[in-house]
Amino acid sequence: MENHNSEIETLITETNSITIHKLIARKHIRFSNSPVEAVIKIMKRYLRITAIHSTTKESLEKHLMKAIEDYNYNRPHNSLDGLTPYEAYTNPIQKRPKEYQNTNTARTKRIKEN
């Protein structure tokens, strides 16, 4: 189990130079890593479907920036009533665009635009 890893327990008990206190999410800590894990999952999804021909740091940065731009400025989100995060942030009162009222229509439109 994740919270009862024997190697971690050994590290904690055998480390004498510093004091380590083991904290368990939702037991000792009120917040969760879920928001960060969600972002990592989204980035992995973008990178998985992208043909990356170079393994340099610059290439990775370029692909990540493209994914961030697509996610924030181009891709409509159901949770935002069909708006992009940028549209929802810059104009929170904006209503869901008619062409995005049907999720299938929105998906088809996005595929055609790309």
In a domain, residue 9? The reply is: no
Quote the CA–CA distance of 30 and 112 in Å, as a whole number. 44
In a domain, residue 113? The reply is: yes
In a domain, residue 85? The reply is: yes
106 lies in which domain range?
Answer: 75-114
In a domain, residue 97? The reply is: yes
In a domain, residue 80? The reply is: yes
**Cβ proximity of 18 and 47 under 8 Å:** no
In a domain, residue 20? The reply is: no
What are 14-70's pLDDT values in tens digits?
Answer: 887 778 777 776 665 666 677 778 888 888 888 788 777 777 888 888 888 988 999
Quote the CA–CA distance of 110 and 68 in Å, as a whole number. 16
Q: What is the CA radius of gyration of the chain?
A: 21
List the structure tokens of 67: 């994914």
List the structure tokens of 38: 């969600």
* Number of folded domains that form the chain: 1
In a domain, residue 83? The reply is: yes
The model's pTM: 0.52
